[in-house]
Amino acid sequence: MARSGIQFQKGLSLPGFQRLYGTEEQCEAALETMRWPDGFRCPRCDGHAHGLVYGRRLKRYQCRSCGHHTLTAGTILQGTKLPLTTWFLAFYLIGQAKTGISSLELSRHLGVNYDTAWLLHNKILRAMSEREEVYLLRGKIQLDDAYLGGERPGGKAGRGSENKIPIVAAVSLNEAGHPIHARITAVSGFSSEAIADWARRHLSPGSQVLSDGLACFRAVTTANCHHKAVITGGKHPNELPQFRWINTLLGNLKTSFSGTFHAFNFDKYARRYLGAYCFRFNRRFSMVAMTERIANAVCCCRPATERDLRVAEAYG
């Protein structure tokens, strides 16, 4: 069997990770560079002048204009009581786990209790997911509909199951027909309104969209995209070469989620899980830099409380 260049690329080994992010000072330095690549900027007053304050655990910047203390303040790490080395180890584990990692596994690896691991995990997933939404897909795009989940313990199975999540999966292709970016999102349903709204949020105008004959996909034209439907003639789109990449993506997604997450959690946190899955897929060519990319996403993400994170997210 041919070896895939992606699967066999050099990743960041655990000893390699420890050399880069093994101490609190190294993690602090990495965060500083990511937050202020052009030098300190106070998140409260925009001032440049600062001093350094050495707390019991964490070094902090003190703004000379307004006195504000910060290193993690203003990011999703704000107020954390965990060492930065624990956070960076979590970035590493989440980034390297090909089929995802559960909060329970994280708690074992990090040596923290389950509730702490859940919160840390969900903050990181939110940061990855928000980072993904910054970009629009463009160019040639394959589109497909699917359902995820649907097996609540004691609940109905199969069609009509109350926690089956309708999702739209899209992948953009380069001129050679290879996948570039993926976007997979939960939607409220497969109506024209839902797809039109989805297309406005995720596709760049002028994109060329290819889908099967499902009627609602015509609605991408309301977001100024071109649309071509491939009539599958009774065949499942899985059997058509035009849909090769979208089928591969959906197949891998289902494998990953069935092994890692429980369906009864998934219906509540679908958006976060799917966004983080695409974050990893879209950076699959640079496994060495994955830890740094996740740390960067975390620096860009606004603070969120546990309550914020436990509230079910809107689909879109």
Residue 38: CB minimum distance to Zn ion, A:
16
Q: Identify which of residues 40 and 217 has a Cβ nearer to Zn ion in the complex.
A: 40
Q: Would you state the structure tokens that stand for residue 156, as one six-digit string?
A: 């109905």
Are 72 and 80 in contact by the 8 Å Cβ rule? The answer is yes
Straight-line distance from the first to the last Cα atom of the chain, in angstroms, rounded to the nearest whole number: 39
Does 44 engage in binding with Zn ion (CB under 5 A)?
A: yes
Does 221 engage in binding with Zn ion (CB under 5 A)?
A: no
Choice from 65, 188, 255, 286 touching Zn ion (CB under 5 A): 65
Distance, in Å, from the CA atom of 144 to the CA atom of 167, rounded to the nearest integer, reads: 9
Residue 45: CB minimum distance to Zn ion, A:
3
Give residue 300's identity as a one-letter amino acid code.
C
Q: Would you state the structure tokens that stand for residue 173, as one six-digit string?
A: 């292709």
Does 6 engage in binding with Zn ion (CB under 5 A)?
A: no
Scanning 34-42, 107-115, 192-200, 304-312 for contacts with Zn ion by CB under 5 A, the matching segment is 34-42
Does 76 engage in binding with Zn ion (CB under 5 A)?
A: no
What does R_g of the chain's alpha carbons equal in angstroms?
A: 21
Distance, in Å, from the CA atom of 10 to the CA atom of 159, rounded to the nearest integer, reads: 42
Does 33 engage in binding with Zn ion (CB under 5 A)?
A: no
Does 42 engage in binding with Zn ion (CB under 5 A)?
A: yes
Q: Identify which of residues 45 and 215 has a Cβ nearer to Zn ion in the complex.
A: 45
CA separation (Å) from 72 to 51, 106, 127, 248?
16, 22, 14, 38
Choice from 45, 49, 157, 215 touching Zn ion (CB under 5 A): 45
Choice from 16, 47, 83, 139 touching Zn ion (CB under 5 A): 47
Residue 48: CB minimum distance to Zn ion, A:
9
Choice from 14, 52, 66, 289 touching Zn ion (CB under 5 A): 66
* Short-list 240, 265, 222, CA closest to 144: 240
How many CA atoms lie within 13 Å of 117's alpha carbon, on the beta-carbon side? 18
The footprint of Zn ion (CB under 5 A) covers 42, 44-45, 47, 63, 65-66, 68
